[in-house]
Chain A
Amino acid sequence: MKNPSINNPYIARSPMVAARLLGGEMMIMSAVDSTLFSLNEVATAIWQGADGATRLEEIVRQHVCPEFDVEPALATEDAEGFVAELAAHGVLLVSDQPISAPAPPRESP
């Protein structure tokens, strides 16, 4: 499910999901289709780094490589697949431009 259209995208957590850390692993429910995900520690690190202002490769370099002792190229390849899958369920927002800080759900005026 790799998205070939965006290389090294900016990624942001969607505000339209439910998420909670349980024993070091993030559980997430998509508001789009109620799919439930449990992220492992590596995926959780990427999720937590998805601030909309940082590109995926940088997130992997900052949050994954030092913590999990993995080569950047290999980790990035894995991360791209993970990001594409979560993006398909509306859990992550992906863009070639920085994504403004994802606002938590607010009421429409």
Chain B
Amino acid sequence: MSTLMQELNDKALALGVPLSVQLDVTYRCNERCIHCYLDHDDHGEMTTAEMKSVLDELAEAGVFYLTLSGGEILMRMDFFEILAYARALMFSVKLKTNGFMIKEKQADRIRNLGVESVQISIYSHRPEVHDGITKLPGSLKRSVDAVRFLMSRGLKVIVANALMRQNMNDYAGVKALARELGAECTIDPTITPKMDGDESILALRIPDAKLQEVFRDSSLFGNVEEFCAPPAPVGDDVLDSLPCSAGHTACYISPYGDVYPCVQFPLPSGNVRKQKFLDIWRHSSQLNEVRSIRARDLNGCSGCGHVGTCTRCPGLAYMEGNMRGPSWADCEKSFARTGIPSPNMLARMAAGSAAPAFLPASFSLVQIQGLTA
């Protein structure tokens, strides 16, 4: 994050301003990605007028960064009307899309509306893998075409590569494809439970050994020795820090008007169809509870050596049962990165839960504690 961006973030935090909001305009989608956490039926999306009203409220609240996502944003017939309205309110708009419906005309419209960036999901450079994940034949070609159309109009495009078992060996190919297209590329191994709590898709997470391999790829993380180094001791500044921006300077609004701390943190905090956004933002007991949590309050985390470097997601922790507790998925990531298990992992192992497959059988608790001491 640039210094200026950090300053603005700090200022927004001090002023209680929601600097960033993700608004999902629909959960409907033309793809059926096997790892998707959404239910794609329409259970009563906000109307065009309601969307515009929400955007007015967000502008009034001081929101600067607006991400429009879904579902597939272009499934809404009024999408460009919503986008134009958002840009007229001078939000910095980022779009997340699969790109399937972006042809030259749509790319022109997006460019003319002054969108900051467009993120397009690409799972593999191989059609059989990408289309196998999206369940939509021809989808890789259409997504790649969309990247080309947008890039040729001078737009910033980010290729988002979600890693799962089906495509875990293809991220280098996706990176090369993005480079060839002139786009940026992000890679994310996070698979989250469905919003209704169904955890069946977690089986798609890449195996721990592969996660270790990914974390040791210098083309992704630069200085691997530094990235995978054992965590340094932390001070009060870390223990008093905020877990993440969710609920502090950022939040998420669903197509039905439900407000959550983050798209990955399904704690219902209010609904903009029933209350003004600012009332929810300022007074929701759920958001205020999220805001009250500091790293030192986290059960099983505050005393963990990883607390200063862990990517612990409060939303994942919430979905795992306790927003003040650890996120098992992130414990695994810290372990895959550093080779040092967290106290939470040890506790689960002691309780008989499955340990990561790459943890050697001879790796006794005494040895592990010795390493973390």
Contacts and interface: CB of A to CB of B under 8 A. Distances in A.
Interface of A: 15-23, 27, 29, 31, 34, 36, 38, 104-108
B90 A23 contact: no
B3 to A, nearest CB: 10
B90 A19 contact: yes
Given A18-B92, A18-B116, A38-B4, 16 more contacts: A17-B114, A20-B91, A22-B11, A22-B12, A22-B62, A27-B8, A29-B116, A31-B115, A31-B116, A34-B156, A36-B4, A36-B5, A36-B8, A38-B7, A104-B87, A107-B80
A20 B109 contact: no
B17 A18 contact: no
A107 B114 contact: no
Nearest to A108: B112
B113 interface: yes
15 contacts: A17-B90, A18-B90, A18-B91, A18-B93, A18-B116, A20-B63, A21-B62, A22-B62, A31-B116, A38-B7, A105-B113, A106-B88, A107-B80, A107-B84, A108-B112
Interface in B87-116: 87-93, 108-109, 112-116
Contact of B2 (A17, A23, A36, A104): A36
A20 B62 contact: yes
A20 B55 CA distance: 13
A105 B87 contact: yes
Interface of B: 2, 4-5, 7-8, 11-12, 15, 17, 19, 59, 62-64, 80-81, 84, 87-93, 108-109, 112-117, 156
Contact of B84 (A16, A27, A34, A105): A105
Nearest to A21: B62
Contact of B64 (A22, A34, A104): A22
A72 to B, nearest CB: 30
A105 B116 contact: no
A66 B266 CA distance: 50
Contacts, number: 69
Nearest to B87: A105
Contact of B92 (A23, A29, A38): A29
A34 B45 CA distance: 32
Given A22-B17, A36-B2, A105 B8 contact: no
Nearest to A20: B64
A47 B52 CA distance: 26
Nearest to B115: A31
Given A18-B91, A20-B62, A34 B116 contact: yes
Looking at B4, B8, B92, B116, which has the most chain A CB atoms within 10 Å of its CB?
B92
B56 to A, nearest CB: 13
Contacts of A19: 90
Contacts of A21: 62
A58 B108 CA distance: 37
A16 B116 contact: no
B249 to A, nearest CB: 11
Contact of B109 (A22, A29, A107): A107
A31 B113 CA distance: 10
A100 B235 CA distance: 56
Nearest 4 pairs between A and B by C-beta?
Answer: A18-B92, A104-B88, A105-B87, A16-B114
Contacts of A27: 8, 64
Nearest to A105: B87
Nearest to A19: B90
A34 B156 CA distance: 9
Task: Specify which of B19, B87, B115 lies most central, judged by the most chain A CB atoms within 10 Å of its CB.
Answer: B87
A86 to B, nearest CB: 15
A29 B89 CA distance: 13
Contacts of B156: 34
Nearest to A13: B90
B88 to A, nearest CB: 3
Contacts of B109: 107-108
Contacts of A15: 114
A56 to B, nearest CB: 22
